[in-house]
Amino acid sequence: MNVYHFKKGTEICNYSYSSNILSIRLNRQRLLVCLEGSIYIHNIKDMKLLKTILDIPANPTGLCALSINHSNSYLAYPGSLTTGEIVLYDGNSLRTVCTIAAHEGMLAAIAFNSSGSKLASASEKGTVIRVFSVPDGQKLYEFRRGMKRYVTISSLVFSMDSQFLCASSNTETVHIFKLEHLSDSRPEEPSTWSSYMGKVFMAATNYLPAQVSDMMNQDRAFATGRLSFSGQRNICTLSTIQKLPRLLVASSSGHLYIYNLDPQDGGECVLIKTHSLLGSETTEENKENDLRPSLPQSYAATVARPSTSSASTVPGYSEDGGALRGEVIPEHEFATGPVCLDDENEFPPIILCRGSQKGKTKQS
């Protein structure tokens, strides 16, 4: 593994490992290197090796997650070869916090929210997605992606404000779930026939088998995005563009799809633009649904981060920041909050894995 300074292009350090590097995760405090049977934890300030987690269950896909909030540097990785058990590890204190019995089947995807206070997971079946609290591991939400077929979940991500959770798979549908709790002090429903039948139906679930009642109580998708393809690996994210929420999907074919997301009513997301990431095609734009739809501004005001910083006060990696070989990165070089990638003055550490051979991976 070679670590380079993002702006200067100089090498900071390099490490060799006993087997192929399967995945790398990092925040402002820790850098994790995941092999099939072990995980290495480095201090990102001086790149010293702090801890090696050995004898973990075989993890051929390098599945692991690290909170981007370095004050809550929690690490999650599979804890079993046969079930969906998650091991929650504290990357700051270097100790195991708890284990979470998340699914009956093996894990396919895990992801933290931006603050490191929630953890989402999906099994290889891909039908149920669960959200747990961190660090106690209590189940907060349970969502049903589908019932008719098993799918392979390829991407699982929270929105920055943790109000939404997005999941993409090898099918043509991207699901967006809304994380909200119903108030216990909600007003009493009017005495109508439909409300009466609803109460009867909910009461009846107490007498049904646990699997059936759990299925009835699982929430469905708040919004969906339809892709023009299926069977391709893809990743998704929920972002704020021009102060409005968007769904972004990048496919293995080299295309980026941008959808409009209605944060109030959900429903079908509308495709706005298609970009070619390989540069071989021009950008396709949906003229009827451009980047300026008429949407309520209350949500935008909630999720948009204020940009009051000037070029001289933006926290993060400075123009001449970083460290040369063996040099300690100054403490002031570390941001106090999540990385803001749309800020041109921000130079976070960026990793690009170009392949691995005998445990060596290039980063830039």
pLDDT tens digit string along 301-311?
433 444 443 33
Rounded Cα distance, 208 and 170, in Å = 33
Rounded Cα distance, 273 and 248, in Å = 10
Q: If pLDDT is split at 50, 70 and 90, which confidence band does 269 have?
A: very high
Percent of the chain surpassing pLDDT 70: 65
Cα–Cα separations (whole angstroms), residue 337 to 22, 314, 315: 28, 11, 8
* Higher-confidence position of 195 and 27: 27
pLDDT of residue 199: 54
Cα–Cα separations (whole angstroms), residue 80 to 62, 102, 121, 150, 176: 14, 11, 14, 21, 28
pLDDT of residue 299: 39
Q: Residues 204-220: what's their mean pLDDT?
A: 51
Tokens of 97: 């916090």
pLDDT of residue 344: 42
pLDDT of residue 292: 47
Closest CA to 249 of 304, 152, 173, 300: 173
Q: If pLDDT is split at 50, 70 and 90, which confidence band does 142 have?
A: very high
pLDDT of residue 165: 96
Residue whose structure tokens are 């075989």? 58
Length of the chain: 364
Tokens of 20: 């192929």
Check whether 89 has a pLDDT greater than 70: yes
Mean pLDDT of the chain: 77
- Residue-range domain boundaries for the chain: 152-181+219-278
Check whether 250 has a pLDDT greater than 70: yes
What CATH class has 152-181+219-278?
mainly beta
pLDDT of residue 126: 87
Q: If pLDDT is split at 50, 70 and 90, which confidence band does 263 have?
A: very high
Maximum pairwise Cα distance, the chain: 73
pLDDT of residue 343: 44
Q: Could you tell me if 3 and 10 are in contact, meaning their C-beta atoms sit under 8 angstroms apart?
A: no
pLDDT of residue 295: 42
Sheet holding 139-144, edge to edge: 107-112, 118-123, 128-133, 139-144
What's at 307, amino acid-wise? S
Q: Model's pTM, two decimal places?
A: 0.71
Paired strand residues for 248: 237, 258
DSSP character at residue 167: E
Residues 6+ apart with CB under 8 A from 245: 159, 164, 238, 239, 261, 263, 299, 300, 303
Beta pairing class for 270-276 and 118-123: unpaired
Q: Could you tell me if 258 and 247 are in contact, meaning their C-beta atoms sit under 8 angstroms apart?
A: yes
